[in-house]
Structure 1
Amino acid sequence: MTASTATPAVLDTERRDLLAMLGQARFFLRYTVQNLTDDQARQRPTASELSLGGLVKHVAATERGWADFLVDPSSMPNMDAMTEADFAARDNDFRLLPDETLADVLAAYQRVADRTDALVGTVDLNAELPLPAAPWFQETAWSARRVLMHIVAETTQHAGHADIIRESLDGQKTMG
């Protein structure tokens, strides 16, 4: 089962609201990293392992994974089958690697966002999608609506992390 349907001619209020919430969360994350050098985007000025460039990469990878799930629920990785190499590769989603630039990571994030935004207009928000077995899921399925709300929540949470890291890095605040 997938959540895909035909594109509605006009977005209903719920879909417009989902797009507005996604857009606002993404704006705050992008705003937090504006005017940074690649070296600054790699720094970890707090006790956390997180860097600003790594957060953008992680949010993009997370959104891409959930958007893939909307199209094909079997695309969700089986955490029990992951190897140490798989986990090491996944850890790189939290780092801006030496051969990566913040501009490239932001461009990749924009492509992910564009795809997700298109899906908001086409998915059946009521479709029930089976979740993989994992200790962090209490349910066996989520609606496509809940998946999109989860993307909003993830992006918002990490925009908050980014704000703290940016303030620790150079004193800039996203708000205030």
Structure 2
Amino acid sequence: MRILVVLACLIGLFGALPAHASGLEDVFGREVPLGQGRPAVVLYANRDTRQVLREHAMRFAYELRHENPIVVVHVDLRGIPGFFMGAASREIRKIHKDSLDKVRQLFLEHGQQPPADLEASFYMVADSSGEPHRALGLVKGFQQVLIRAMSPSGRELARGPFPQAAGTIRRVLESSAPPRISAVSR
């Protein structure tokens, strides 16, 4: 009987713990805050799809600025030998920095100041096991970037090939955003 009481208490304790911790870290060791109050755009890519991201992802992230999502890029490193993982992680860190610079430039080109939380809104995850990609049906060496829209609570709202599904992702994030109250409407 005591075992049942202890189990019931443990289940109650686990139910009281916050369910928002993603347990996912980026290439800088920062926790990726999926499901922690902000919507997210998650892109699944590999070295064969990086050109698609270069051509479309930064402008798409800029277009979503009013929804204030976090952007997460999962980079599939399956097939890269273990002794090259350090070099791959360094390259991903460099791409992260270059991407932030490009987004800042986009804001400036449109006469806007880049958001102060820009760095806290962009994460790149190096994935050597490929498990997140495999779980979505992406086989090693896939040729199409996959994009997912996630709600502030971490629930998937939509997914599709990128950039083809960009419009759908944008509409889903816009429709799930809380309404804004304008000072003019008062």
Per residue, is there more strand in 1 or in 2? 2
Per residue, is there more helix in 1 or in 2? 1
Q: State the TM-score, normalized to the length of structure 2.
A: 0.30
Q: Which has the higher contact order (CA 8 A, sep 6+)?
A: 1
Q: State the TM-score, normalized to the length of structure 1.
A: 0.31
